[in-house]
Amino acid sequence: MASRLWASRAASYLRLSVSHRGFASVVKDLKYCNSHEWVKVDGNSATVGITDHAQDHLGDVVYVELPEVGATVTQGNSFGAVESVKATSDINSPVSGKVVEVNEELNNSPGLVNGSPYENGWIIKVELGDSGELNSLMDADQYSKFCEEEDAQH
């Protein structure tokens, strides 16, 4: 039951009696998509993970389904999944390209996604197919505003 709006759906289920905490951290130099993944571009290489906001809504991550190295990912399409104690959610790629590395550490320590979503909890590295796709992504300020508006609806 894949859902593109996984974070929204998860948020609507999880927001039952959660007191509002300080807003999740957003890293300035990254690009974000509305399905709550981030991408850090370094030349032709892009590192992808899920945001602090996403992991906060998901709760404790117990398993991360990783793609194979060499797999092709397409912007906006699912390449794996994050399973938490509350829900299983697709991970969508913010960019198109070829998977050149996967974070094998997540096999043994899926909680890295919770504890360090922007650093040790990265999910895949991609060789960029089209850097022009980055123009359709949000910067940190736009993403923060997007999250605030989305949370306000729940």
In this structure, what token pair is assigned to residue 42? Answer: 């370094």
Reported as a single tens digit per residue, the pLDDT across 67-116 is 999 999 999 999 999 999 999 999 999 999 999 999 999 999 999 999 99
Give SS3 for 25. Answer: coil
Reported as a single tens digit per residue, the pLDDT across 13-23 is 443 333 334 45
Write down the CATH number for the domain with range 31-152: 2.40.50.100
Whether the predicted pLDDT of 126 surpasses 90: yes
Q: Are strands 31-32 and 88-92 parallel, antiparallel or unpaired?
A: unpaired
Q: How far apart are CA 29 and CA 66, in angstroms?
A: 25
Instruction: Enumerate the domain spans of the chain.
Output: 31-152
Q: How far apart are CA 138 and CA 74, in angstroms?
A: 17
Reported as a single tens digit per residue, the pLDDT across 22-63 is 456 889 999 999 999 999 999 999 999 999 999 999 999 999
pTM: 0.83
Res 24: pLDDT: 67
The neighbour count for residue 14, using CB atoms within 10 Å, is: 18
DSSP letter for each residue of 93-124: BSS-EEEEEE-THHHH-TTHHHH-TTTTT--E
